[in-house]
């Protein structure tokens, strides 16, 4: 099994959904590295701290970034661009406008650009985590965008 680095983000109205999904998939997630934006990360860390067996130290690898509106989405996007994130679970709220919508769009764009799996709802997250590819050494193909970089003006 290849250890994955999983980006986890949830807007306020979706944090409960993400926590329920994490609870359902706790055993599988405990063996991977988790990278989370601010409030979501603190919530997930608290969950794992609370749900570790009696007397055991929480050894879940969780990296906390800044809150999304304070740059956490951009930090996560940079990690994707550096190929340090294997997949992204981002439960965003389609019914609530976000003050940092531009950052959200940029994060989703970079995830598509680098061809990493992205789940924006629990059903897709379930499909990703239950796929045989989740536990494999799967490496996504990358499109060559160099012609966009070296274009003469």
Which residue numbers are catalytic? 73
Q: Identify the CA nearest to 38 among candidates 79, 60, 69, 1.
A: 69
Q: Are 124 and 90 in contact (CB under 8 A)?
A: no
Q: Six-digit token pair at 129?
A: 């985590």
The kind and range of the H/E element at 61 are: strand 61-64
DSSP per-residue codes, 81-116: HTT--SEEEEE--TTS--TTHHHHHHHHHHHHHTT-
- Which residues, in sequence order, are CB contacts of 22 under 8 Å at separation 6+? 8, 29, 44, 47
């Amino acid at each position: 099994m290849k250890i994955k680095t999983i980006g986890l983000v949830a807007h306020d109205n979706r944090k409960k959904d993400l926590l329920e999904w994490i609870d359902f998939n706790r055993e599988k997630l405990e063996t991977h590295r988790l990278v989370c934006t601010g409030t979501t990360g603190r919530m997930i860390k608290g969950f794992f701290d609370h749900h570790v067996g009696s007397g055991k130290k929480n050894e879940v690898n969780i990296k906390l970034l800044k809150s999304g509106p304070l740059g956490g989405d951009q930090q996560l996007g940079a990690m994707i661009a550096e190929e340090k994130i294997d997949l992204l679970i981002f439960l965003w709220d389609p019914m609530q406008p976000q003050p940092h919508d531009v950052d959200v769009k940029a994060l989703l764009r970079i995830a598509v650009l680098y061809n990493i799996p992205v789940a924006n709802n629990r059903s897709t997250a379930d499909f990703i985590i239950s796929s045989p590819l989740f536990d494999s050494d799967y490496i996504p193909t990358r499109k060559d965008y160099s012609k966009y970089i070296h274009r003469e003006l």
